[in-house]
Amino acid sequence: MPLRTSQNESDELRKLDLFSDMEDVHFEALMRGAYVQNFPPAIELIHEGEPSDFLHVVLEGSVELFAGWNERETTMATVRPVSTFILAASIKDAPYLMSARTVEKSRIILLPSSDVRAIFDEDQAFARAVVTELAQCYRHVVKNTKNLKLRTSLERLANYLIRQSEVSAEPTGFDLPIEKRRLASYLGMTPENLSRAIKALQPYGVTVTGQHVSIPDDRDLRHLASPTPLIDDPKH
């Protein structure tokens, strides 16, 4: 049963760059039309090809964006709190190019796309924030394309691990944020190949135990990986 958002949840949403500069009256109108819902794992929230009736925001849990073709499927991204996904389809009233399903129990806000578009037409600050968000999404996917076309699967894994290590900034290592079979799919390889690639990175200082990764000395790994902000840094 869909519920209205609590004050706390509205505040969480307000903090997002996308909504933070929106006029109060517009934000309140958006919240009045919003639903919040809990979903169990493995529930498909949207399906590629369908019209985008809502703009979704992940408040808790996580959501996998994936795409399929001819019985094949690939993971395109994982969405974590607090963030939206597939803004482009909502804003332009175009069909979804990707599907989405919950990875774990998740709490999602659904904002009617028609409300979002109406405010977009009225609120200049929101329009600008939409542009920023779309530009960032676009740049992110361009980097992903470069990663896929320019690097082998071993190089993609190496760079991924370096990136995650930098983000966690823990000297004892970090936990992979998703299951290995999904990580494999995201990186454009099979689970078997990921397993072999993880093993192949051991001589470069990488130790993986279950979900835990530690890289006490990453110099060799960095030499193999050759990270560049033009591919690997989401903020660049």
How far is 171 from 208, CA to CA, in rounded Å?
14
Residue 194 touches which of a copy of itself, DNA, none (Cβ within 5-8 Å per kind): DNA
Q: Is 101 in the site for DNA (CB under 7 A)?
A: no
Q: Is 49 in the site for a copy of itself (CB under 8 A)?
A: yes
Whichever of 20 and 211 has its CB closer to a copy of itself, that residue is 20
Q: Is 104 in the site for DNA (CB under 7 A)?
A: no
Residue 207 touches which of DNA, a copy of itself, none (Cβ within 5-8 Å per kind): none
How far is 49 from 41, CA to CA, in rounded Å?
22
Provide, rounded to whole angstroms, the least separation between the CB of residue 130 and a copy of itself: 6
**Which residues between 70 and 89 bind a copy of itself (CB under 8 A)?**
70, 72-74, 76, 88-89
Whichever of 3 and 131 has its CB closer to a copy of itself, that residue is 131
Structure token pair of residue 193? 């190949």
Q: Is 145 in the site for a copy of itself (CB under 8 A)?
A: yes
Candidate list 149, 169, 209, 217; residue touching a copy of itself; CB under 8 A: 149
Whichever of 98 and 208 has its CB closer to a copy of itself, that residue is 98
The structure tokens 């985008």 sit at 52
Q: Is 137 in the site for a copy of itself (CB under 8 A)?
A: yes
Candidate list 1, 169, 210, 217; residue touching DNA; CB under 7 A: 210
DSSP 72-92: EEEEEEEE-SSEEE-HHHHHH
Residue 153 touches which of a copy of itself, DNA, none (Cβ within 5-8 Å per kind): DNA
For residue 226, give the nearest of 157, 164, 155, 167 by alpha carbon: 155
Provide, rounded to whole angstroms, the least separation between the CB of residue 126 and DNA: 39
Q: Is 146 in the site for DNA (CB under 7 A)?
A: no
For residue 177, give the nearest of 225, 212, 150 by alpha carbon: 212
Residues that bind DNA (CB under 7 A): 152-154, 179-181, 188-199, 208, 210
